[in-house]
A = this chain, B = another copy of it.
Amino acid sequence: MAARPGGHNLAVMNGPKEKVLTLDTMNACVKRVEYAVRGPIGVKKPFTEVIRANIGDAHAMGQKPITFLRQVLALCVHPDLLNSPDFPEDAKRRAESILQACGGHSLGAYSNSSGIQPIREHVAQYIQRRDGGIPADPNNIFLSTGASDAIVTVLKLLVAGEGRCRTGVLIPIPQYPLYSAALAELNAVQVDYYLDEDRAWALDVAELRRALCQARGHCRPRALCIINPGNPTGQVQTRECIEAVIRFAFEEQLFLMADEVYQDNVYAEGSQFHSFKKVLMEMGPPYSTQQELASFHSISKGYMGECGLRGGYVEVVNMDPAVQQQMQKMMSVRLCPPLPGQAVLDMVVSPPEPSDPSFTQFQAEKQAVLADLAAKAKLTEKVFNAVPGIRCNPVQGAMYSFPRIELPPRAIQRAKELGLAPDMFFCLRLLEETGICVVPGSGFGQREGTYHFRMTILPAAEKLRPLLEKLSQFHAKFTREYS
């Protein structure tokens, strides 16, 4: 088993060799991926604390976990605790029933690739309740490693063709950059449709049509992604809008992908979450029987904010059964989604009932988080809109404001000299001078010549107001500096 000595010596004597894997030789699609959200950090300057208002990471910003979720999860992790008097009976019952469905009664066993079967059934029941009784089939539900995982899986199925036949996927601008990143990686064509900032980031079918027609010249558009409530834009779509989008998708033969991970995060009066599934079904045939849809949900957002556990699901509707089998196969290669995330998803879709001992506390904690977020959404809008040069649409839902900022021409000039997007330049300076970390609008996409940033509404209430004010003051100072 000795190496061929000649070749060996030759190689050694040739001195330093090229690496196999370099920027030049690596996957070009991966190289094209951009992902701005986890932004710039590592700056030391005149502030005591970096406030990471850049990502929707509720617990990191001080939000407490919901007690019931953690009690049950602890019991599942360490079943010796089932004998402890310190846990309510319903938490114990729940943990026992989850463990019952796990191999060897352990969260350490693999589950089915599509998730633990009773949890899929609970998800189906949740959807049915949410959608006013419209049935959901557990076999159409696939648990996932957060929503991102499921979104990428569905996009992966859709990618085909070369050159002018490459798959195009319509995504909103501004968008959550998972979409652009996944499309770049999969070598699909990103087709931008713009949300209408002047109408509170409304989605206009005429704009969808424009984007589609233009795209048909150079690719084959096959899917339409919607984020509702919007990330980073915070709008909540009306029922009428959703109907119009579904009609459009149906007419134009587009697979619909509805990113509905903020379905519990609706704050504005008069706004209400309507699921694409429900609207689709209520529209009746041929929509309800033919329009293909995948809807995504997650345990990372809502009132629970359990990002670190990586749990979520996708429900597919009217998917070709043979394709659905292929999706199942794809998921089996990665074995299974993490079981702690599956367990917490179970509680989210099937929370304590009024007769359960944990009900009161659970509801109180949930409502407190949501009420707090609603207040912070309102405060954010109010403070920003009082500032000259900043204009912020209502944060109807989700967890972010995406205010538009005016930047003076000299700042834009200076940014160009530095090779930075102007709003990136603004955000970097903001971070350096105040410790506030937000994400420039250019990371999400925006109309040419407009500038924004995304800031979460997650900082604790007592910190948020000073934060908003500091940011507003910085904008004024920045504007003066470059005027």
Show the binding face of A for B, using Cβ within 8 Å.
1-4, 7-8, 10-12, 15-23, 25-28, 30-31, 33, 35, 38, 52, 55, 57-63, 65, 70-71, 73-74, 77-78, 80-81, 84, 86, 102-104, 106-111, 113, 145-146, 148-149, 152, 156-160, 177-178, 181-182, 185, 202, 204-206, 209, 222-223, 240-241, 244, 247-248, 250-255, 286, 290, 292, 304-310, 318-320, 322-323, 326, 329-330, 332-341
Q: How far is the CA of A294 from the CA of B219 in the complex (A)?
A: 37
Q: How far is the CA of A95 from the CA of B338 in the complex (A)?
A: 20
Q: How far is the CA of A95 from the CA of B177 in the complex (A)?
A: 34
B63 touches A104 (CB 8 A): yes
A149 touches B340 (CB 8 A): no
Contacts of A335 in B (CB 8 A): 38, 146, 148, 307, 310
Contacts of A310 in B (CB 8 A): 145, 310, 335-338
Contacts of A241 in B (CB 8 A): 1
A3 touches B338 (CB 8 A): no
B292 touches A21 (CB 8 A): yes
Stoichiometry, as copies per complex, reads 2
A185 CB to nearest chain B CB (Å): 8
B286 touches A12 (CB 8 A): yes
A331 CB to nearest chain B CB (Å): 10
Known A3-B247, A26-B158, A205-B1: A308·B86 in contact at CB below 8 Å? no
B65 touches A74 (CB 8 A): no
A427 CB to nearest chain B CB (Å): 17
Contacts of A337 in B (CB 8 A): 310
A333 touches B33 (CB 8 A): yes
A132 CB to nearest chain B CB (Å): 23
A20 touches B292 (CB 8 A): yes
A35 touches B329 (CB 8 A): yes
- Which residue of the partner chain B has the closest CB to A240? B1
